[in-house]
């Protein structure tokens, strides 16, 4: 039994939800997102609440119940508030800057890395060592953040590299004499 799937989704006043068969569309101040839900799941609207339930008691229906509820919650939150991932850069000479539609990273390599900013995602560098990635699609924002982190993941000895702001790096002790 899904505990997440049992919770109804509260739709904010500024979000318009339309259900056409198995396609759920959310429109809000940040744009429009849609999601195609699987056939084993039914969705009902009760005022400003969305109720998700499995159509039968198969294993796949029970597995997809909570997943579908979380995906619908993410599109509702995305079009109303959006998602932000903050990243920090640690290391001497490591820095980032946004130029036109590219993120320019200097991460200790012999060359600078030019990362094109995808459609639907915006980036801001408040300081040369922080990057704020913002967008309405949670999956796309997380994917872009993981791509940027993969250019120079944090190393365990000095902690140099690109990391999420809430990430904890387990530090190792260096060589002993």
Closest CA to 67 of 49, 40, 45: 40
Per-residue pLDDT tens digits of the chain, which is 177 residues long: 568 888 888 888 888 999 888 899 999 898 889 999 998 898 888 888 988 889 888 888 888 888 999 999 999 999 999 999 999 999 888 999 999 899 999 988 899 999 999 998 999 998 999 999 999 999 999 999 999 999 999 999 988 999 999 888 888 888 887
Residues 67 and 105 in one domain: no
Local structure of 20: helix, strand or coil: strand
Instruction: For residues 173 and 153, give the distance between their C-alpha atoms in angstroms, rounded to a whole number.
Output: 18
Q: Which domain holds residue 87?
A: 83-164
Q: How many CA atoms lie within 13 A of 104 on its CB side?
A: 7
The pTM (predicted TM-score) of the whole model is 0.85
CB contact at 8 A, 7 and 1: no
Residues 46 and 92 in one domain: no
Last residue of a domain, one of 80, 111, 128: 80
Residue 84: phi and psi, rounded to 5, are -135, 135
């Amino acid at each position: 039994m899904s505990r997440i799937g049992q919770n109804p989704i509260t739709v904010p006043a500024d979000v318009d939800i339309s259900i056409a068969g198995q396609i759920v569309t959310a429109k809000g101040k940040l744009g429009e997102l849609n999601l195609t839900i699987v056939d084993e799941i039914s969705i009902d609207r009760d005022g400003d609440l969305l109720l998700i339930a499995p159509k039968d008691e198969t294993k796949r229906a029970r597995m997809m119940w909570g997943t579908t509820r979380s995906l619908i919650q993410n599109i509702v939150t995305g079009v109303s508030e959006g998602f932000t991932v903050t990243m920090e850069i640690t290391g001497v000479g490591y820095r980032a800057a946004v130029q036109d539609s590219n993120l320019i990273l200097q991460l200790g390599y012999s060359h600078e890395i030019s990362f094109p900013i995808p459609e639907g995602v915006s980036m801001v560098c408040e300081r040369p060592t922080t990057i704020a990635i913002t967008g309405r699609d949670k999956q796309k924002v997380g994917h872009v953040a993981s791509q940027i982190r993969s250019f120079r993941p944090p190393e365990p000895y000095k902690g140099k590299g690109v990391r999420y702001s809430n990430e904890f790096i387990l530090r190792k002790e260096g060589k002993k004499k």
